[in-house]
Amino acid sequence: MDSLKKELLQYLHEVDGLQALPSKVAGGTALFYKGKEFAHFHNDNEIDLRLTKQLIKSLGLRHPPRSSVHPTRAASSNWIELRFFNIEEVKTIEGLVRQAISQL
C-alpha cells in the first residue's frame, strides 16, 4: 500500500507550478510553488506547512504535542505541523496545502 504522503502528493499532482523536491533547509521532501518552498515533510505522516497566523487561528489548528522536530515553536508562527493518519485527514491536508498556495 502506498504511503499517505504519496497519496497526498497524488491529490496535488495537477496543481500547476507545484513541485515536490528535496528540501534545501529541512532535508527530505519539500513542496515548492513557482520555486518557493512553503511546506516540507518530516515523515510520511507529518507535514510542516506555512499558512498565515490568522488562518491557523481561525481553523483552530494546534501545534502537535510532543513535537520532536519543532518542540519550541511559538504559537504565533506562520508554520504549523500537521499529522495525518488516514485518507480523510490526507484530504483535509490537501485543502490546507491548496489554501497555502493561494496565499503565495
Q: Please tell me the distance from the alpha carbon of residue 19 to that of residue 59, in angstroms, as a whole number.
A: 26
CATH topology of domain 4-102: Aspartate Aminotransferase, domain 1 (3.90.1150)
Cβ contact 47:93 at 8 Å: yes
Q: How is residue 94 annotated by DSSP?
A: H
DSSP three-state, residue 50:
strand
Query: Which residue ranges make up each domain of the chain?
Result: 4-102
What average pLDDT does the chain have? 92
Of the chain, the percentage scoring pLDDT greater than 90 comes to 77
Q: Please, which pLDDT band fits residue 11 given cuts at 50, 70 and 90?
A: very high
Mean pLDDT of 62-71: 85
pLDDT for residue 16 is more than 50:
yes
